């Protein structure tokens, strides 16, 4: 460890190309935290198996996501970027932590109930144990800080409880209790303006779209439902297009947009055109870098394999301590 403030760990399921929700809720934070922390960023392919129907897409989804992370500014020379299954010690820790986990706690979690509702035909054991595997991710790397969106709050609280329970039972502070860190934008809504932006809801806007594709996607965004006619004044505070402006548009312009929307001087179509143009400008350097990196497909896999090697060293140390603490012969 260097003289930084501590270690950050975060993970995301390999969902392929990332969207604005991932970017504003997580990736932007991952990049900023590199200044002050030793960072470990993991593509959680094992977690993805709990909901994935087409396993054949895992490899491509992994490299597409890693490309987005690297193009957005995660620096693999400093930070560890790796694939969860490449460091299999996490599955051993998952098994051990499961002995410290009351079953009822898992089935009571809102995230479990939501997933069970979404895939009633496939409520598998892995889905129930999902938060335990996540706790194993975080504790294997002794993370002090975990940057995530608000949807992961119950999993972070669960992790903290498991750590306390484990440390209490073994009588010493072996595992580290992590702090959750949300961005200023912990829940990005989708184009429907109602639900969390998510690929599975098809309400997402991908970072790696072309300028034209971005405009087309932004044009589908739902605005203030009361503004049924161009001449009716809008309410920026209930409009997701306006919310997104805060991340891509200058403060002065945001104020002007709010005033012009309220007075009906600015219509929703022009407002969306403006947002799309600002998103395109904001992401121009990212898109250029992504195109460059994608020219050498080996590069991403080299980064991930170097990351796994470095992650493995930390994982081995933790597992030595854990095995000793619980008396495994």
Q: Is 187 in the site for ligand TYM (CB under 6 A)?
A: yes
Q: How far is the CB of 126 from ligand TYM (least distance, A)?
A: 12
From the list 9-17, 64-72, 96-104, 249-257, the region that binds ligand TYM by CB under 6 A is: 9-17
Exposure string for 138-148, b = 16+ CB within 10 A, e = fewer? bbbbbbbbbbb
Which of 11, 76, 129, 307 is the binder for ligand TYM (CB under 6 A)? 11
By CB under 6 A, is residue 151 in contact with ligand TYM? yes
Is beta strand 80-83 parallel, antiparallel or unpaired with respect to 38-43?
parallel
Cα distance between residue 144 and residue 124, in whole Å:
31
295: its two tokens:
């020219």
User: Among 146, 241, 303, 322, which residue interacts with ligand TYM (rule: CB under 6 A)?
Assistant: 146
66 binds ligand TYM (CB under 6 A): no
Q: Can you tell me the distance from the alpha carbon of 262 to that of 209, in angstroms, rounded to the nearest whole number?
A: 31
Shortest Cβ contact with ligand TYM: which residue? Answer: 25
- For position 283 contacting ligand TYM by CB under 6 A, the verdict is no
Is residue 289 near ligand TYM by the rule CB under 6 A? no
Q: Are 141 and 176 in contact (CB under 8 A)?
A: no
**Binding to ligand TYM by residue 137, rule CB under 6 A?**
yes
Q: Which of residues 20-49 bind ligand TYM (CB under 6 A)?
A: 21-22, 25-26, 44, 47
For helices 89-98 and 125-140, the axis angle rounded to 10 degrees is 110
Answer yes or no: are the C-beta atoms of 66 and 18 closer than 8 Å: no
Task: Give the whole-angstrom CA distance, residue 24 versus residue 72.
Answer: 11
CB of 177 to ligand TYM, least distance (A): 14
Does position 106 interact with ligand TYM (CB under 6 A)? The reply is no
Nearer Cβ to ligand TYM (183/267): 183
Q: Which is nearer to ligand TYM, 256 or 312 (CB)?
A: 312
In the sheet with 145-147, reading across from the earlier edge strand, the strands are 80-83, 38-43, 7-12, 145-147, 179-181
Stretch of residues binding ligand TYM (CB under 6 A), selected from 132-140, 214-222, 229-237, 277-285: 132-140
51: enclosing H helix or E strand: none
Q: Binding to ligand TYM by residue 138, rule CB under 6 A?
A: yes
Q: How far apart are alpha carbons 51 and 55 in whole angstroms?
A: 10
The nearer residue to ligand TYM, 166 or 261, going by C-beta atoms, is: 166
- Interacting span for ligand TYM (CB under 6 A) from 134-142, 231-239, 247-255, 320-328: 134-142
The yes or no reply on residue 188 touching ligand TYM (CB under 6 A) is yes
DSSP bridge partners of 146: 180
Please count the residues of this chain forming the interface with ligand TYM, following the rule CB under 6 A: 26
Site for ligand TYM in 206-265 (CB under 6 A): none
Within 10 angstroms of residue 202's Cβ, the number of other Cβ atoms is 9
Q: Which residues contact 137 (CB under 8 A, 6 or more apart)?
A: 9, 11, 42, 44, 84, 90
- Residue 210's CB is within 10 A of a number of other CB atoms, namely 10
- Specify the residue, 29 or 249, whose C-beta has the smaller distance to ligand TYM: 29
With respect to ligand TYM, which residue has the nearer C-beta, 144 or 227? Answer: 144
Cβ neighbours, 10 Å, residue 225: 11
Q: Exactly one of 28, 115, 196, 245 binds ligand TYM (CB under 6 A); which one?
A: 196
CA gap 69, 27 in Å, rounded: 7
Exposed, middle or buried, 124 (CB in 10 Å: 0-12/13-18/19+)? middle
Contacts with ligand TYM by CB under 6 A lie at: 9-13, 21-22, 25-26, 44, 47, 134, 137-138, 146, 148-149, 151-152, 155, 186-188, 196-198
């Amino acid at each position: 460890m260097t003289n930084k403030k501590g270690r950050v760990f975060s993970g995301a399921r390999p969902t392929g190309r990332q969207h604005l929700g991932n970017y504003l809720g997580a990736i932007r934070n991952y990049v900023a935290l590199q200044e002050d922390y030793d960072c470990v960023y993991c593509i959680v392919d094992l977690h993805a198996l709990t909901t994935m129907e087409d396993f054949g897409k895992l490899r491509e989804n992994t490299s597409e996501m890693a490309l987005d992370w690297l193009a957005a500014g995660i620096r693999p020379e400093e930070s560890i970027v790796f694939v969860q299954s490449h460091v299999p010690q996490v599955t051993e820790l998952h098994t051990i932590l499961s002995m410290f986990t009351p079953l009822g706690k898992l089935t009571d979690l809102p995230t479990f109930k939501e997933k069970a509702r979404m895939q009633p035909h496939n409520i598998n054991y892995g889905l129930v144990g999902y938060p335990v595997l996540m706790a194993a991710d975080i504790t294997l790397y002794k993370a002090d800080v975990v940057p995530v969106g608000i949807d992961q709050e119950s999993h972070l609280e669960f992790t903290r409880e498991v750590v306390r329970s484990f440390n209490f039972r073994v009588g010493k502070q072996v595992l580290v209790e992590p702090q959750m860190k949300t961005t200023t934008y912990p829940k990005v809504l989708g184009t429907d303006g109602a639900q969390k932006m998510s690929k599975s809801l098809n309400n997402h806007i991908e970072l790696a779209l072309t300028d034209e594709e971005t405009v087309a996607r932004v044009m589908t965004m739902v605005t203030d439902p009361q503004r049924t006619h161009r001449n009716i004044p809008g309410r920026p505070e209930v409009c997701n297009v306006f919310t997104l402006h805060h991340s891509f548009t200058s403060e002065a312009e945001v104020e002007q947009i709010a005033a012009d929307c309220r007075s009906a001087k600015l219509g929703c179509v022009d407002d969306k055109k403006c947002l799309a143009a600002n998103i395109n400008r904001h992401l121009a350097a990212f898109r250029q870098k992504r195109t460059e990196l994608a020219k050498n497909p080996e590069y991403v896999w080299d980064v991930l394999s170097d990351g796994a090697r470095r992650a493995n060293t930390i994982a081995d140390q933790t597992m030595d301590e854990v095995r000793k603490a619980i008396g495994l012969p």
